[in-house]
Structure 1
Amino acid sequence: MSRIIDRLKLVFLGAFVLSLVAIFGYHGYYVWPAERCEAQGDWWDPDGRVCARPVLISDITGRTIPERKAAEAAKARAEAAAAEAPAP
């Protein structure tokens, strides 16, 4: 009877270790990179696992933002992003 209990202990210990490896692997591959990306204020794409910096629509289209408050906020955000970007 004790052989069976010893084998069961090893099986459950192996299943526990395997589940720990799976959990840490998942967090290392999906969760932690997403948290780092979002902490920087960027956008995380889970499908492609890409961290992307948001681009203002007004920068692409050339249109102006009619609301003064929103325009000032967008300008401040763009200046902050430019200041954080490394020089080439």
Structure 2
Amino acid sequence: MNPNIERLKLIFVALFAVIVAGVLVWQVGWIIPQKKCEAARKWWDVDQRVCAQPVLISDITGRTIEDKAAEAEANAAIGRPAPPAAAKP
């Protein structure tokens, strides 16, 4: 067989192997952690590959959310469980 064809075949096989390895590294290093983070309802930072816990502004400032429906919606948006209902005497 022509040696040029053999050389091209090896180049294409090596290039294919490098691309497959790159896709595998991309999936394991970036995509899978991103999906796990988003499934846990957290924020994924693509640049630094960090999964961060969202924080409500009311947690930082100490101000409470007056509207109970808005508070429940905000807690649900960041994945917190609903606060227990206050016992009535």
**TM-score, normalization by structure 1:** 0.76
Unaligned 5+ runs, structure 1: 82-88
Match of 1:85 in 2: none
**Higher percent of residues as helix:** 1
CA–CA distance in 1 between the matches of 2:42 and 2:3? 55
| Off by >6 Å, runs of 4+ in structure 1 | none
Match of 1:4 in 2: 4
Tell which has more relative contact order, 1 or 2 (C-alpha 8 A, sep 6+).
Answer: 2
- 1:14: Cα distance to partner? 0.6
Q: Which amino acid in 2 is paired with 1:72?
A: A
Report the CA distance shift for 1:40/1:75 in structure 2 as closer, same or farther (over 3 A). Answer: closer
Report the CA distance shift for 1:5/1:75 in structure 2 as closer, same or farther (over 3 A). Answer: closer
Aligned length: 80
**TM-score, normalization by structure 2:** 0.75
Question: Identity of counterpart residues, as a percentage?
Answer: 45
